[in-house]
Every structure is written in C-alpha cells, then in structure tokens.
C-alpha cells in the first residue's frame, strides 16, 4: 500500500514537473529573442551536480536507519559500478537533446512528442526486463504511433499564425531522437534499480548514476551560464530538471517505465492550457488529433 501511494505521488509530481520544464524554457526563449539564452550543456552539468548532492545528503540522512546501505557489496572498480556509466551517458546526451527539442518546439508539442517514448519503452521493456503486455496494450502502442504520425502532417492553408508547426522535419526528428534515447536510458536504469543488487537503497544507486552523469556532462560542457538572462528563471530551470530526474527514479523504483510514460501524457493537457494562457498557443487540427490518441492511452491500466 505504501509503495502504491509513493508511486502515485511520484507520478503526479512528475506530470507537474515535466510540464513546468517546458514552460520555463519557453519563458526563457521569450526573454532571449526566441532562443535559449544560455549554455544548455552547462545547465545539464549543474542539474546532474544538484541531483548528486541531493542523493548524497538523502542517503547520509537515511543511513543510520538502514539495515543495508549498499556499501556492503560496493566495489569502486567493478563491472556493476561501471554499468551505471551506460545509462548515465545516454541520459546526458538525451538531456541535451531535450533542450534542442525545446528550442524548436512549443511546450504542448514537445510534451506530445515526449509521449513517443512509450513505444520503444514497450518493446525494450519486453526484451530487457521480460515485462509482458496484453493485446490491448500493444494495440494502444500502435495507436500512439498513429497519433505521433498525425502530428507531422502538413497544416491547413488557413491555419492561424500562432498555430503549431509540427510538420517541420527537424522538429519531429528531434522529438523522435529524444524519445528513443529516453526509452533506452530509462529501461537500462530500471534494470539497474530493480535487478542489480535490489536491496541497495534508491539514493545509493542514484549517487552512482549521477556521479557518472557529472563526469560525462563535465567532459561535454565548456562553460557555465554566460547569458544575460535573470538568475531566477535560470535557477528554476536547473532546480526543476533536478526534481524531474529524482521523480523519475522514484517512479522506476515503485512502478515502471510505462507508468512513467503515461504520466507524461497528462502533461500534454497541462502544457496546452498553460501555453494558451501564457504564450497564446493555438493548437492545429493535427495536434488535437494526435493529442486525442495520447489522452486515450493515459487512463489505460498501468503497464
């Protein structure tokens, strides 16, 4: 019962945080002349460092009450420790792709394309984790594929100037690439959380993947924030992204990747409403039809 409540709370938090992630970047773009006015690779590095600090502090606080801390079987130079480098590297690449996608897409369209990850997750979870799906669930994944295809159709000639422009091949490709990398890294991370040393605390495992993440992001990043954007929005983006990462790990611990994917579907509605009010977003017919498929999947039973 406790794990079910934790899973539900983590999913709700992830929905809200995933929505605010795209909205905050859109606000930064509005203040930066349509571009993200800071070094996004530095944002990824700072986010990983913040997550590592939070995970370390939480684990140290929990340590005295734990019967098994994770240190009992930990070896610094070992294959189990090195295994965390694989999803960590994928996460860093994917997090940089998130900023690329957000620079090209409005928040609702980005959230709709984020639902695309449910498709490769369904396949990878079956192959790597042995998670079985019902026929209805596989049909739902096929319907989602159709919905994603619909969003890439050309707009009507009479579409308004503020309507979404999902037909740009670069935009849709960034969404697909982000979805595939997110799916692969998330399934690998779920395997590490649930299969490799399953008794180890979640935050102990988070420390390992975030440590690799900091090393990878540091090698990729060249500068810290250098743009003239105010510190509040900049800091909120880093804080929000760190919270998203921590919520994702909780969802993977107490639920699974497809439950995480369905929580993303709800963020399409939240992002659409918020963007309509804040940024004058006007959904196209293709967007509405694609979103309808995502909403159809959202109330389905958890995978």
pLDDT band, residue 297 (cuts 50/70/90) = low
What is the rounded distance in angstroms from the CA atom of residue 110 to the CA atom of residue 260?
16
96/126: higher pLDDT:
96
Residue 147 contacts residue 113 (beta carbons within 8 Å): no
What is the rounded distance in angstroms from the CA atom of residue 153 to the CA atom of residue 149?
7
9 in a structural domain: no
Instruction: Work out the mean pLDDT of the chain and round it to a whole number.
Output: 82
24 in a structural domain: no
Give the pLDDT mean for 160-186. 67
**Which alpha helices (DSSP H) does the chain contain, by range?**
2-31, 40-62, 79-82, 85-104, 107-114, 118-129, 135-150, 169-194, 202-220, 231-254, 257-279, 285-297
14 in a structural domain: no
What is the rounded distance in angstroms from the CA atom of residue 297 to the CA atom of residue 142?
11
Q: What is the pLDDT at residue 295?
A: 62
Give the pLDDT mean for 248-275. 83
6 in a structural domain: no
Q: Which residue pairs, CB below 8 angstroms and at least 24 apart, start in 136-142?
A: 136/300, 137/300, 137/303, 140/296, 140/297, 140/300
135 in a structural domain: yes
Q: What is the pLDDT at residue 213?
A: 97
Q: What is the pLDDT at residue 212?
A: 98
Question: What is the count of structural domains for the chain?
Answer: 1
3 in a structural domain: no
96: closest CA among 54, 53, 45, 49? 45
26 in a structural domain: no
pLDDT over 50 at 133, yes or no: yes
Domain span at residue 193 reads 41-61+78-297
Give the pLDDT mean for 225-252. 82
Percent of the chain whose pLDDT exceeds 90: 42
Q: What is the pLDDT at residue 173?
A: 75
Least trusted range by pLDDT, from 30-34, 101-105, 168-172: 168-172
238 in a structural domain: yes
Give the pLDDT mean for 238-260. 91
Q: What is the pLDDT at residue 6?
A: 81
Give pLDDT tens digits for 62-98.
999 999 999 999 999 999 999 999 999 999 999 999 9
What is the rounded distance in angstroms from the CA atom of residue 121 to the CA atom of residue 213?
21
Q: What is the pLDDT at residue 63?
A: 95
Percent of the chain whose pLDDT exceeds 70: 79
Least trusted range by pLDDT, from 137-141, 144-148, 156-160: 156-160
Q: What is the pLDDT at residue 162?
A: 44
Residue 272 CA to chain centroid, in angstroms? 18
Q: What is the pLDDT at residue 160?
A: 39
81/123: higher pLDDT:
81
């Amino acid at each position: 019962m406790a794990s079910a409540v934790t899973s539900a709370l983590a999913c709700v938090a992830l929905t809200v945080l995933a929505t605010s992630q795209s909205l905050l970047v859109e606000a930064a773009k509005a203040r930066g002349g349509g571009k993200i006015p800071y070094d996004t690779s530095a944002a990824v590095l700072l986010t990983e460092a913040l997550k590592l600090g939070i995970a370390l502090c939480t684990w140290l606080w929990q340590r005295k009450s734990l019967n098994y801390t994770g240190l009992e079987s930990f070896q610094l130079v070992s294959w189990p420790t090195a295994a965390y480098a694989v999803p960590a590297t994928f996460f860093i690449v994917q997090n940089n792709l998130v900023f690329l996608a957000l620079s090209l897409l409005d928040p609702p369209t980005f959230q709709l394309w984020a639902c695309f990850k449910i498709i490769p997750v369904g396949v990878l979870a079956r192959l790597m984790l042995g998670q079985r799906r019902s026929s209805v669930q596989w049909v739902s994944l096929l319907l989602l594929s159709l919905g994603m295809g619909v969003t890439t159709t050309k707009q009507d000639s009479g579409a308004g100037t503020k309507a979404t422009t999902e037909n740009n091949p670069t935009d849709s490709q960034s969404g697909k690439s982000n979805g595939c990398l997110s799916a692969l890294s998330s399934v690998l991370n779920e395997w590490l959380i649930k299969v490799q040393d399953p008794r180890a605390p979640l935050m102990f495992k988070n420390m390992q993947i975030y440590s690799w993440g900091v090393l990878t992001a540091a090698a990729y990043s060249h500068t810290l924030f250098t743009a003239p954007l105010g510190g509040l929005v900049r800091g909120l983006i880093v804080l929000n992204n760190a919270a998203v990462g921590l919520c994702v790990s909780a969802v993977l611990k107490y639920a699974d990747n497809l439950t995480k994917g369905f929580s993303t579907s709800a963020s399409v509605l939240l992002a659409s409403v918020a963007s309509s009010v804040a940024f004058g977003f006007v959904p196209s017919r293709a967007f509405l039809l694609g979103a309808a498929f995502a909403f159809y999947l959202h109330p389905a039973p958890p995978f």
